[in-house]
Structure 1
Amino acid sequence: MSGTPAQRSTVGAITFRLVGFLFLVELTSGILQGYYVPLVTQIAGSLHVTTADYNWTEAAQLLVSALVVPVLAKLGDMVGHKKILLVSTAVTALASWALVANGGSFAIFLIAFAVQGFYVVWLPLEVALIFDRGRRTGTGPSQTRRAAGFLVVALEAGAIIGALASSKVFAATGHSVPLTLIVPAACVTLVFVAILFGVPESEPVPGRTLDVGGFVILTLALLFITGGLTFLRLNGPASWTVWVPIAVGLALFLPFGRWELRHRDPAIDLRVLKQPNMWPVQLTAGLFGISVLGAQIPLSAFAAASPAKVGYGLGHDPDVVSYLIGVYLVSLIVGAVLFPVFSRIVSPRAALIVAAFLVAIGYLLFLPMHDELWQVITNMVVAGIGSGALVASLPAAAAAAAPRGQSGIATGLTNTTKTVGGAFASAVFGVILHAGLSGDVSSGTGLGSYMAVWTICGVGALVAAALLFVVPRLAFADPEGVSAPEVAAEAVAAPRD
């Protein structure tokens, strides 16, 4: 680390305090992601809808997340990442309390659950905050990798805590859904206070403007694409309602590109995006979304499928399936913790490539190894370690590759592309599994559908690993031979356009 011992001590103290409070934020984010899942049947019953209807809440939240993250991340770069972190937390808290007070209305619950998706921008903003602190001393990349690993530990620990706590709270409240839903709402409210008093503000570059036109075009493009993917799951691949919206969404990127290249302060700087240390990271995030967001439901379904009835699967009850998910989450934590250590031994780029290969190996191992519980656990642990490393490293890598004043939007884009990749995978996997499971069981088409899912996940990760070889060898590393005062002076003198 550059700088004098006193400077290093000061930097370490600030980073420890900052990461400590942000750890609480990500712990709450994990609780939000894990708390509602075990209560799906009970919540649906209280709203007088079916479980299938309830699934619309997840789809709506993913859509809102994909749309708002780029705008909020860019605003963080403009006015300060803490300010936007507070705004997004306040919106999430209001939405969480609306879930408690929905009065049995599914429409209100659907809107509130969708708006709760504002929490997805927390991790990109946190990474940008940490990187801003480290950039001033020339240690932004390494500090951000270490801190991001701890944040992912908090995220996954929160998911485990939320999943385990919700059913116990439900029982303790006499099976009252409104009382049970108070817990995540209270957690978000408390974390707002933690951010307000415990997190220092970043130093945004002054004189920035919000590219409203660019964000409008980008939002419309994402809306059409994700809408088409939703109809793919509902209506199947033969419907025009699938391909026309997707085609329109893709076509909108042409005027978006022309607009951005002419704008003085674009929503997304395409000149930065095309650099070899940036575009492979963003594409990797999209390909990674296929497995990390799209493969979990198929894996759970396979573990629960009865070999005696359908000829494949593990035939385990929900308790064992939940343990499998727990093992996968723990492996994510291991990967997040090991990544910064491994990146110091080799290089950040090499560690990213290894992580992508681990995801590929883990899913491709399902092709020959899926008949026994130990085989499935082995595959999930290998894929989980790689996935945990990528969850922690991709936002940090994007922040390290971004110029000053664009770390928020760069990290936010990794989240958006991951979400779009997950939406694509969820829709396609739904069609594949429906087609396979609706056929003759004796034909083996059901197992073939699962094989197709695992193959897509594995090949997607292999493509991501190949793309990362394009990244320059020393990308994402701390600048060498630069002292802290020199870096600070360079930051002050940096162009403000």
Structure 2
Amino acid sequence: MPQPPAAPRTGKVIATLALAGVTAAVMQTLVTPLLADMSTILHTSSSNAAWVVTATLLVAGVCVPISGRLGDMLGKRRMLLACSIPLIGGSVVCALSGSVVPMIVGRGLQGIGMGMIPLGIALLRDVVPAEKLSSSIALVSASMGIGGGIGLPVAAAVAQYADWRFLFWGAAALAGVVAAMIVAFVPEVPAAARGQRFDAVGALGLAVGLVCLLLGVSKGADWGWGSPVVLGLLAGAVVVLAAWGWYEWRTTDPLVDLRTTIRPRVLLTNLASVFIGFGMYASMLVVPQLLQFPEATGYGLGQSMLAAGLWMLPGGLMMMVVSPLGGRLTNARGPKVTLVCGALVLALGYGTALLLSGTAFGLMCAAMVINSGVALAYGAMPALIMGAVPLAETGAANGFNTLMRSLGTSVGAAVVGVVLAQMTTTVGGHTFTSENGFRTGLLLGGCLALVSAAVAAAIPAARPERPAPRDPAGPAAQSAHAPAAT
């Protein structure tokens, strides 16, 4: 059984994994300030330019659970390094791009690197002492929101005052720093599932099913929800994923062990993750638009992209502040309580947004509350998952949980996008989302947050475990492999 690293090195491991999560999040928000001008930059149509975002979503959805399983089999440190290579390479390809095809390829490569986040969270169970585990999981889990909150205003500033290519050169450099820190500080831990067979058929089936599902959901508004293409994609997703589940249930060494995922603690945590992902992303669609819509609409606040990013920056910083508190709450009361509290705080944030949406300061306060709830929830979900699955499945289980969150954000983007597109008003000859449209989007986010709280409250308590036999190496060797607090 692998030994935990010495205490001084543990801090460097946690810092490395947190920076890896921040880097992955920055990759996702990197192109946001460029979206309005992307078709001009790449000399293509707006519909083609939209694939710059869609490509990352699709590739990440497919690769994250596969990376988690390979981490269990080959070693999580090795897979973290493997994920850093496409992050660097994809950023360089994007920086050198002058047309849409290489940009899409580069963004797809960046999507492969998104597996760093669940791999890093799973690695914590192997190397961090029990007394630091909950707070470490909370920090690394919240790093996605931290990276998004900090990355957006930085990217907006670079896009506004410098060449857009500097965004991708900077991303490549940041990913290179993460790779160097992994080499220097992250220890090699024996793979718990070493020697097991990689489920190539399961990986292919999941990839096809997820591409059909995510493509249908993400492009439904553009292609028409009733179009034959979208209906065919969604129907194909149902058929392929059903066949995939049948195969996974019967195969040896599956990509995702469905017998583990249907355990009530794991199943309900993943279900809550979908609703949390929906609830989180609704605010990311509504708040920036309210800040940037023209004041002539009567409810828009007329902020620039840079100013809007700066108003949202405190929300990202709140995740950094709240995540250690979530770890303490998990140690004291268990991750289930932390998850319920996070969902309730998230709902409170949407209520705040509904009451204070008339000023930039009010929206900033609402974003701070919303992101505080997200920080609590994101730190609790991996702790619940890792406390309920065998050590040999932590990478795959965390990858699947990350996929559930991503599925929630994709569905949230589609549903809220339809609401904002359908509820419109005309001002000065231009069509804008109406104030009622934005309020409906906020109400949806708040309601889904309450649903996630109800689902989390139904998660059963962990079964008491028999005391482990005393290890001659001492309690520290055991604590690194104990399940997270439940």
> Aligned AA for 2:224?
G
Match of 1:340 in 2: 327
> Aligned AA for 1:38?
P
111-120 vs 23-32, which moves further: 23-32
Does 2:253 match 1:259?
no
Name the CA shift for 1:479/1:349 in 2 (closer, same or farther; >3 Å).
Answer: farther
Unaligned runs of 5+ in 1: 1-6, 493-497
Rounded to whole Å, the distance in 2 between the matches of 1:54 and 1:386 is 33
Rounded to whole Å, the distance in 1 between the matches of 2:432 and 2:22 is 42
Assess if the C-alpha contact under 8 Å between 1:127 and 1:399 holds in 2: no
Rounded to whole Å, the distance in 2 between the matches of 1:161 and 1:246 is 35
Rounded to whole Å, the distance in 1 between the matches of 2:121 and 2:395 is 8
Identity of aligned residues (%): 22
Match of 2:258 among 270, 276, 283: 270
Match of 1:357 in 2: 344
Name the CA shift for 1:65/1:462 in 2 (closer, same or farther; >3 Å).
Answer: same
Rounded to whole Å, the distance in 2 between the matches of 1:85 and 1:390 is 24
> Aligned AA for 2:133?
T
> Post-superposition shift, 1:359?
1.0
Name the CA shift for 1:145/1:444 in 2 (closer, same or farther; >3 Å).
Answer: same
1:160-201 deviations in whole A, cap 9, x for unaligned? 5544544665688xx444455322112212322221232112
Rounded to whole Å, the distance in 2 between the matches of 1:33 and 1:45 is 21
Match of 2:199 among 200, 211, 223: 211
Rounded to whole Å, the distance in 1 between the matches of 2:303 and 2:163 is 29
Match of 2:135 in 1: 146
Rounded to whole Å, the distance in 1 between the matches of 2:376 and 2:77 is 25
Rounded to whole Å, the distance in 1 between the matches of 2:153 and 2:360 is 22
> Post-superposition shift, 1:252?
2.5
> Post-superposition shift, 1:144?
3.1
Does 2:48 match 1:71?
no
Match of 2:226 among 238, 260, 272: 238
Does 2:413 match 1:426?
yes
160-169 vs 18-27, which moves further: 160-169
1:347-373 deviations in whole A, cap 9, x for unaligned? 221111111111122224434443344
Name the CA shift for 1:314/1:168 in 2 (closer, same or farther; >3 Å).
Answer: closer
Once the two structures are superposed, the pairs formed by residues 155-170 of structure 1 within 5 Å of their partners are 155-159=144-148, 162-166=151-155
Q: What SS class does the counterpart of residue 237 from structure 1 fall into?
A: coil
1:404-426 deviations in whole A, cap 9, x for unaligned? 20000111111111111111111
Name the CA shift for 1:479/1:301 in 2 (closer, same or farther; >3 Å).
Answer: farther
110-119 vs 13-22, which moves further: 13-22
Rounded to whole Å, the distance in 2 between the matches of 1:118 and 1:248 is 24
Q: TM-score, normalised by structure 1?
A: 0.85
> Aligned AA for 1:114?
G
Once the two structures are superposed, the pairs formed by residues 362-381 of structure 1 within 5 Å of their partners are 362-381=349-368
Assess if the C-alpha contact under 8 Å between 2:342 and 2:372 holds in 1: yes
Does 2:210 match 1:189?
no
Name the CA shift for 1:440/1:342 in 2 (closer, same or farther; >3 Å).
Answer: same
Rounded to whole Å, the distance in 1 between the matches of 2:360 and 2:465 is 43
Q: What SS class does the counterpart of residue 19 from structure 1 fall into?
A: helix
> Post-superposition shift, 1:117?
1.1
Match of 2:208 in 1: 220
Assess if the C-alpha contact under 8 Å between 2:33 and 2:159 holds in 1: no
Match of 2:281 among 293, 311, 321: 293
> Post-superposition shift, 1:315?
3.9
1:325-363 deviations in whole A, cap 9, x for unaligned? 112212222332220122233222111111111112222
RMSD of the alignment, in Å? 3.2
Match of 1:96 in 2: 91
Match of 1:121 among 93, 115, 127: 115
> Post-superposition shift, 1:374?
4.1
> Post-superposition shift, 1:93?
1.1
Match of 1:447 among 402, 426, 435: 435
> Aligned AA for 1:124?
P
- Count the aligned residue pairs: 475
Rounded to whole Å, the distance in 1 between the matches of 2:372 and 2:223 is 36
Assess if the C-alpha contact under 8 Å between 1:349 and 1:474 holds in 2: no
Match of 2:32 in 1: 37
> Post-superposition shift, 1:40?
4.4
Name the CA shift for 1:33/1:231 in 2 (closer, same or farther; >3 Å).
Answer: closer
> Post-superposition shift, 1:377?
3.0
Match of 2:56 in 1: 61
Match of 2:401 in 1: 414
Match of 2:455 in 1: 467
Name the CA shift for 1:20/1:335 in 2 (closer, same or farther; >3 Å).
Answer: closer
72-81 vs 333-342, which moves further: 333-342
Match of 2:76 among 71, 75, 81: 81
Q: What SS class does the counterpart of residue 85 from structure 1 fall into?
A: helix
Match of 1:247 in 2: 235
Unaligned runs of 5+ in 2: 482-486
Name the CA shift for 1:478/1:455 in 2 (closer, same or farther; >3 Å).
Answer: farther
Q: TM-score, normalised by structure 2?
A: 0.87
